[in-house]
Chains A and B, each alone.
Chain A
Amino acid sequence: NAGVTQTPKFRILKIGQSMTLQCTQDMNHNYMYWYRQDPGMGLKLIYYSVGAGITDKGEVPNGYNVSRSTTEDFPLRLELAAPSQTSVYFCASRRGQNNYGYTFGSGTRLTVV
């Protein structure tokens, strides 16, 4: 199993550009999450999904969108990138409500200039 795979690993965007961060998992996990990690800060939840076709906002959803058309994929879309979105983004998954351990991807480092 590959676990949780994120692409790209690094990206530089200009202000106002858009991009999609890809996340896929091959563990048949129902729950998937997107977090951002800023220097010296903990992980902040952007969006999450408890199954295909279902998404919910986390703590910091503004400026982002997600979709969950399949169990495996949970892409994060940035429209009109802003410098405040410079961060490291982590995707995570877990099997279900009674399985608490997250599996994290290795992250996408995004810089908006």
Chain B
Amino acid sequence: GQQLNQSPQSMFIQEGEDVSMNCTSSSIFNTWLWYKQEPGEGPVLLIALYKAGELTSNGRLTAQFGITRKDSFLNISASIPSDVGIYFCAGLAGNQFYFGTGTSLTVIP
């Protein structure tokens, strides 16, 4: 299967700080998605990216589809305690999405 590498694996930040995480692959994807998963719940879609170079925002979240189509980035500005969770990237190949291993975010009030 396709391999998606997310970094960092985990982050501990102070409330109010900005957060950056990324997802890289050796394969090209035509669509990138970013999901957030809270404890005991399924992942929830945050942002979808459909074109290389695309920059899309959803509130304090901004994601970019890398020019090479092999990577994507997610930024969260002015973090708040409810941003806590695991953030997953996913790339579309054929009918399947392949998921990264996740970035665990802890926000310290």
Contact = CB atoms under 8 A, between A and B. Distances in A.
Physical interaction between A and B? yes
Contact of B42 (A42, A50, A90): A90
B42 A92 contact: yes
Interface in A32-73: 35, 40-45, 48, 50, 56, 58-59
A102 B44 CA distance: 8
Interface stretch (B12-20, B57-65, B74-82, B93-101): B93-101
Nearest to B102: A42
A104 interface: yes
A39 B91 CA distance: 20
Contact of B88 (A43, A45, A48): A43
Q: How large is the interface on A (under 10, 10 to 19, 20 to 34, 35 or more residues)?
A: 20 to 34
A90 to B, nearest CB: 5
Interface of B: 1, 4, 6, 9, 31, 33, 35, 40-45, 48, 50, 88, 90, 92, 95-102
Interface of A: 4, 31, 35, 40-45, 48, 50, 56, 58-59, 90, 92, 97, 100-107
Given A101-B45, A107-B42, 15 more contacts: A35-B99, A40-B101, A42-B101, A43-B90, A44-B1, A45-B1, A45-B97, A45-B98, A58-B96, A100-B31, A100-B48, A100-B50, A102-B35, A104-B43, A104-B44
